[in-house]
Amino acid sequence: MTMDVNAYRTAAKVWLNDHAPKFAGAARRGLAPAADLALGRAWQALKLEAGYGAITFPKIYGGADGSVIEKLVFAEEEVRYDVPRYFSVSLGMPIPMLLRYGSEADKDRLVSRALRGDDIWCQLFSEPAAGSDLAALRLLAVRDGEGWQLRGQKLWTSWAQHASWGIILARTDSTVPKHRGLTLFFVDMRSPGIDVRTVRSISGHSAINEVFFNDVHVPDAQRLGPVGDGFRLAIETLMIERYAVSDVSGFGPGLADFIAFAKRQGGGAALLDAAVRQAIADTYIADAGLGSIHERALEAIAQGQEPGPEGSIRKLLIGRKRQRLSALAMDIMGPAGVYYDPADQTTESFQASWLEAPGVRIAGGTDEILRNTIAERILGLPQDVRSDKDIPFNALPG
């Protein structure tokens, strides 16, 4: 790692130390959703002003024209604070795709607003019958004069309830096999015919939504890439954030928190239990191993190389790790482990962490799909049998 990166990290640490506490932890506790969102927008605007809000984006839109390594280093430092993250989707995937495939006029009109946090963008990919099997999606885009009409339903859309815009994957041709009939658009979320309904997650919180499209008009100018090229572009979208930094604890209480907790229980008696000790050791090696993998990935990126494929085990581990430690902490509490306050943050409360842990193992690639990916892409084992592969979408059963 070069001196420049170290200097950048030090400066980022100092800046975060000065500013982040006002937007994290106690500052967020008990805030109504609207107030938390306002706090999130203020945090994004402040970061942008300091050169940290859109590190890799072009200067003409308000970005910092920085390197991927700077983005990752800042994210590593920022992840230590539980600041609002309403813009993680916006700036992670939709806006980079708009920059790659949007018209100059649209970029001028929309990108700087998104970087400042004025607009939130969502990503409308998954549907009730299309999660892991994204190409099975059914939402239709039907020709409508110079544009298109969207008809159907999306699901699991993060931040759609706050979003001004979204990128959306739709079926434009049902007469060809499923992967080949999709097209990518962006859509104004304030258009007539859009109905956003929040889905309560297990914890009772609401960051995800189902979104209904009832003949929603989209101009053809808001198409991203060629008609029929949507699946390839969707995969490209998902690959952009491949090396995103995530908290190694999976945004739950970390190992240090667990150990501190276990030390307080029964005058330290909990720490004498073999199952507890095993969990501590298992979690430690997972964290240390992932830390080493991450460090090597950063070094590779800093030298302009592709990181090794081993980074793909990260998400497979963090969800299960968080689920195990959280449940174990509750077991140690015994009957008192049932107490839960919905206002608790998942980073602080084992109950809140445990309630949301299943989602970590599903969102953005289920444990099972991730294992398939490792087996196929890294180990070279064959793809599962796909009986629908070469059949036109409208000829598929069900």
Partner 1 sequence: MSLFSDEHILVRDQARRFLAEQWCAKKHRALLEAPGSGDAALWHAATALEWSAAAVPPAFGGAGPDWGTVAVLAEEIGRGTATGPFLVSWTAGLVIARFGTDAQKSRWLPRLADGSLKVAFAFAEADAPFDAPNTRLHNGRLTGHKLAVPFGGEADLALVTADTGRGAGIALVPLDAAKRTAAPSIDNSRGAVTLRFDDAPAEPLGTEALWSMLETAWVLTAFEQIGGARACLMAARDYALERRTFGQPIGRYQAIKHKLADVYTAIEIAHGNALVALTEIATTGRAPLAAAAARYAATQAYDLAARENIQVHGGIGCTWESDCHIHYRRARALALELGSIHWARERVVEALCSEKTQ
* Residue 21 vs residues 14, 89, 349: alpha-carbon distances, Å: 12, 22, 19
Q: How far is the CB of 267 from partner 1 (least distance, A)?
A: 14
Which chain residues interact with partner 1 by CB under 8 A?
255, 259, 262-263, 271, 277-278, 280-281, 284-286, 288-293, 296, 299, 310, 313, 316-317, 368, 370-372, 374-376, 378-385
Alpha carbon separation from 247 to 157, 306, 314 (Å, rounded): 21, 21, 10
Main-chain phi, psi angles of 99, to 5 degrees? -65, -35
Among residues 382 and 398, whose Cβ is nearest to partner 1?
Answer: 382
Q: How many CB atoms lie within 10 A of CB 370?
A: 19
Cα-based angle 143, 154, 86 (whole degrees, multiple of 5): 120
Beta-carbon contacts of 214 under 8 Å, excluding residues fewer than 6 positions away, are: 151, 193, 194, 195
Nearer to partner 1, 35 or 381 (CB): 381
112/323 with CB nearer partner 1: 323
- Minimal distance, residue 333 CB to partner 1, in Å: 18
Task: Give dist(CA 37, CA 303) in Å, integer.
Answer: 37
Least distance CB 313 / partner 1 (angstroms):
4
CB of 384 to partner 1, least distance (A): 7
State the CB neighbour count (10 A cutoff) for residue 271: 16
CB of 310 to partner 1, least distance (A): 4
Residue 335 or residue 380: which is nearer to partner 1 going by CB? 380
Q: Which is nearer to partner 1, 129 or 381 (CB)?
A: 381
CA dist 323 and 360 (Å) reads 9
State in angstroms the smallest separation of the CB of 250 from partner 1: 15
Q: Which is nearer to partner 1, 206 or 305 (CB)?
A: 305
